[in-house]
Amino acid sequence: MSTNTAETSRKPTVPPRSEGADLELKGITKRFAEFIAVKDLDLTVPSGTFFALLGPSGCGKSTTLRMIAGLDAPSEGEILIGGKNVTSLPSHQREVNTVFQSYALFPHMTVLENVAFGLKRKKDKQAMEKAREGLKMVELDHLANRRPEQLSGGQQQRVALARALVNRPQVLLLDEPLGALDMKLRRQMQFELKAIQTEVGLTFIHVTHDQEEAMTMADVVAVMNEGRIEQMGAPRDLYELPKTAFVANFLGKSNLMRAQVVGQQEGLIEAQTAGCKVLIPVERAVQHEGDIVIGVRPEKLHLHREAPQESTGYNELSGQVIDVSFTGTTTEYLIEVPGIGRIGTFSQNRGQQPAQMGDTVYLSWDSAHSFGLAGDEVVDAGVDQT
């Protein structure tokens, strides 16, 4: 890609900031003939937020987006933009614009005509100038007179973005806009999108199934599953303290173990799993008694060749290495812990190789890193879903 250097060293020339508007969904339900895509969804996105709707395909995130855009009508509920009820407004009367997954650039128009399309419909007298400005912002002003088909995927993506942005909508919707790009271009566009959003200050709603994309870009992430929002919050909060097995598995990886609560002391829940004692901070557990599920992220685990010394506040397990895979920066291990199952962890590549296939190893982690989920969770919910 010869345009790479130009694309990374960009300095967006951005028109004056404009505030987006709050978006509110109240009790939104969408039923299709055979299934319910979205179930009783309540959601408030404050103005100026970069909001990500994250979930596997078929979770209802795209349907939600299409309802906000006015392309599908909700079966029940209300959509409010800036406090105004727009539920029955057709898409062309809503101050909302979309960057489509397929880009949907008009093939019979030039790049400039594409970008000016919305402004012209709104009878903006300066449509052409504003469209040029918009193209400048995405650094494509030199391609204004090309046809979309003559552009690369990344360029088309930016035309689609400019076409939506120049209208200064109250809410900008992005429907997996980076899905068709290769990994490298994708990372770069994530960075640029975020930069543009920060500078323009519009409300962005970004739909994606890529958890890394959602976490790097969004201020707030909502994880959707089967038509509902499982959990919503800042990316770090979601990652560090998932409230359901689905979130724990879909957002990054987790080791989940079934356990029984046996007691509680000094703000810590004590639970028993396969003969081992495990501690969880009370405020990090969804449920405080009976059967629960304990979770810990793989990177929080320490791997030892010999039994570590007893230390307070640490949880310990031991098992046998059943799989080792070398990825370059890390080596990943799969450890079979009797009575619990398989636990994954990894170690940074600092030249050593701490364990080999078949070795008996010891795992320990700071109990402050454990989290507790409800006992009726399906332990592998959300694993390997995209």
Partner 1 sequence: MSKMVMTNKGKIADLRSADEIKAERRKGRTGVYLVVPGMLVLFLFFALPVIVLLSMSLYARPEGAEIGEFVPALEFGNYVTVLSAYWSELVRSFGFALIATVLALLIGYPMAYLVAVRLRQHGLLQGILLVLLIAPFFSSFILRTQAWKQILADEGWVAQTLKLIAVLPADGHLTATPFAVVAGLTYNFLPFMVLPIYANLGRLDTRLLEASGDLYASPVTSFFKVTLPLSAPGVFAGTLLTFIPAAGDYVNAALLGNNRNTTMIGQVIDSRFFKVIDYPGAAALSFVLMLSILILVTLYIRRFGTKELM
In the complex, the residues that contact partner 1 under the rule CB under 8 A are 69-71, 90-93, 96-98, 100, 102, 104-108, 117-118, 121-122, 163-164, 167
Q: Give the 3-state secondary structure of residue 57.
A: coil
Among candidate residues 244, 319, 243, 326, the one with its CA nearest the CA of residue 276 = 319
Least CB distance to partner 1 at residue 161 (A) = 13
Least CB distance to partner 1 at residue 113 (A) = 10
Least CB distance to partner 1 at residue 107 (A) = 7
Nearer to partner 1, 11 or 108 (CB): 108
Least CB distance to partner 1 at residue 166 (A) = 10
Residues 247, 238: Cα–Cα separation, whole Å: 8
- 54 with 214: CB under 8 angstroms? yes
Nearer to partner 1, 123 or 350 (CB): 123
Number of CB atoms found within 10 A of residue 159's CB: 25
Tokens of 92: 């062309």
Nearer to partner 1, 48 or 148 (CB): 148
Nearer to partner 1, 121 or 277 (CB): 121
Cα dihedral sign, 34-35-40-44: negative
Nearer to partner 1, 100 or 314 (CB): 100
Nearer to partner 1, 200 or 221 (CB): 200
Tokens of 186: 């994708």
- 286 with 372: CB under 8 angstroms? yes
- 276 with 317: CB under 8 angstroms? yes
Least CB distance to partner 1 at residue 8 (A) = 23
Least CB distance to partner 1 at residue 34 (A) = 14
Q: Give the 3-state secondary structure of residue 296.
A: strand
DSSP 15: P
Q: Give the 3-state secondary structure of residue 343.
A: strand
Residues 158, 257: Cα–Cα separation, whole Å: 45
Least CB distance to partner 1 at residue 119 (A) = 9
Residues sharing a CB contact under 8 Å with residue 366, sequence separation 6 or more, in sequence order = 300, 313, 314
Nearer to partner 1, 85 or 93 (CB): 93
Least CB distance to partner 1 at residue 126 (A) = 16
Nearer to partner 1, 84 or 121 (CB): 121
Residues sharing a CB contact under 8 Å with residue 175, sequence separation 6 or more, in sequence order = 62, 65, 98, 99, 100, 101, 207
